[in-house]
Amino acid sequence: MEFLKLAEQRYSERAFDKAHQIEEEKLSKILEAGRLAPTACNFQPQKVYVLRTEDSLWKAAKLTHTYDAPIVLLVCYDMNIVWKNAREEGFHSGEQDASSVLTSMMFEAESLGLHSLWIRGFNSKAVAESFELPENIKPAMMLAIGYPTSASAPSPRHKDRKPLSETVEEK
């Protein structure tokens, strides 16, 4: 499928079919898309945790809205590996790299007939504690993935997009 068509049809899912499990082959392709995602200097600081046991999904659902997704990917970055910008004190690539990884996995899921939801409405410290992450591993976002239910529909705001003239400018 043409990428722009894929981007246009993808929407944030909030009605997952928890009973319809994701095939291992599809999950492998989604994770591979994340592995191939571009990262700063190709340092690849990402750490992706697959949450699919009853216990791990319950923990995630207590921390944020996961909408009964059968799999949630917890996308983190390793502070020991992130690229650090020598021209700007304190800046590192962790959030950007994690975003790149999640975006690649999100579009691969869509191309495989799955729906997804990008999740950032959580407290990072609470997530790290709940999943007993090492101190150097920082939670960035989650990606809920699964098959939609019959109630699945995009938000009424889904097609609302600002014109390029409002978001792009030449200098």
61-115 tens-digit pLDDT: 999 999 999 999 999 999 999 999 999 999 999 999 999 999 999 999 999 999 9
How confident is the model over 43-64, as a mean pLDDT? 98
Query: Residues 15, 97: contact at Cβ < 8 Å?
Result: no
Strands across the sheet containing 71-78: 46-51, 71-78, 137-146, 115-119
* Interatomic CA distance for residues 90 and 7, integer angstroms: 33
Percent of the chain with pLDDT over 90: 95
Q: What is the per-residue pLDDT for 141?
A: 98
**pLDDT, tens digit, for every residue of 26-38?**
999 999 999 999 9
**Is the pLDDT assigned to residue 44 strictly greater than 80?**
yes
Q: CA-CA distances (angstroms) from residue 92 to 39, 65, 84, 112, 171?
A: 11, 28, 4, 32, 26
Amino acid at position 62, single letter: K
pLDDT band at 118 (very low <50, low <70, confident <90, very high): very high
pLDDT band at 18 (very low <50, low <70, confident <90, very high): confident
- State the architecture of 3-151 in CATH terms: 3-Layer(aba) Sandwich (3.40)
Domain range list for the chain: 3-151
**Is the pLDDT assigned to residue 1 strictly greater than 80?**
no
Query: Residues 115, 109: contact at Cβ < 8 Å?
Result: yes
